[in-house]
Homo-oligomer: A and B are copies of this chain.
């Protein structure tokens, strides 16, 4: 089984974190490939940056999906995921969607620990769009500006752990989600140090993507996740245009 993870940001250092955790998490026989967006920003905190990342993810997915059994949008917030689920013939998931699935299977209410204050509003909207707002105990975040996006864990691990502890104690979290690709692998290194289950987006996505491949539930040919209906298009990257032209 071959999984494509798309980092919709330009940070190669984050792609390396994603690849490391993805390979540690994958079952034997699951091959992992991580691609980095050729355009965009260092990391997404806002709706405007997510709009850019979604388009970058769509381009990479359109170009490369044919060699893979499933695709993962490897940024918390899942930019472009719902659109790609329509357009691609293979299963697609994202870090947030997958982390929520894991949290759902581990407890009732969860908190998200995030890397920046600004990112909270966008995360909240994504959680709400998935219908999980009733189970969201809180979002807590680092408040300092990030110096090195590829080294957030090293620079801030104690703060992140403290935020998780407050979420359990003060907010009633049954599960902690460590959010954002830059935190890939932190759940693993905190194992046994927190009083509740800890969820990581990358390992969740790798495992759940493999499950989707195994379940063979089928690709929608009707309903809102069928491919977009065929219609005129213009000026698009060839791979996206090809996806659209094979539309339902």
Interface residues of A (CB under 8 A from B): 10, 25, 27, 38-43, 45-52, 54-55, 58, 80, 82-87, 91, 93, 97-98, 100-102, 104-109, 116, 118, 120-122, 125, 128-132, 134-135, 145, 168-169, 172-175, 187, 191-192, 194-200, 203-204, 207-208, 211-212, 214-226, 228-229, 231-236, 240, 243-244
Contacts and interface: CB of A to CB of B under 8 A. Distances in A.
Contacts of A134: 128, 131
A236 B40 contact: yes
Nearest to A192: B218
Given A50-B83, A118-B226, 7 more contacts: A46-B86, A47-B82, A101-B208, A128-B129, A128-B134, A198-B217, A208-B211
Q: How many copies does the complex hold?
A: 6
16 contacts: A10-B232, A27-B214, A39-B235, A41-B244, A51-B51, A101-B105, A102-B215, A108-B121, A118-B224, A145-B229, A195-B220, A195-B221, A196-B218, A196-B221, A203-B215, A208-B211
Nearest to A87: B48
A105 B93 contact: yes
Contact of A217 (B48, B109, B197, B220): B197
A196 B223 contact: yes
Given A105-B98, A212-B106, A217-B102, A174 B40 contact: no
Q: Most chain-B CB neighbours within 10 Å: which of A10, A49, A187, A236? A: A49
Nearest to A173: B223
A235 B175 CA distance: 33
Contacts of A131: 131-132, 134-135
Nearest to A122: B224
Listed from nearest, the 10 A-B pairs whose CB atoms lie closest are A39-B235, A121-B224, A48-B83, A195-B222, A197-B217, A55-B55, A51-B83, A46-B228, A47-B83, A131-B134
A6 to B, nearest CB: 14
Contacts of A93: 105
A38 B234 CA distance: 8
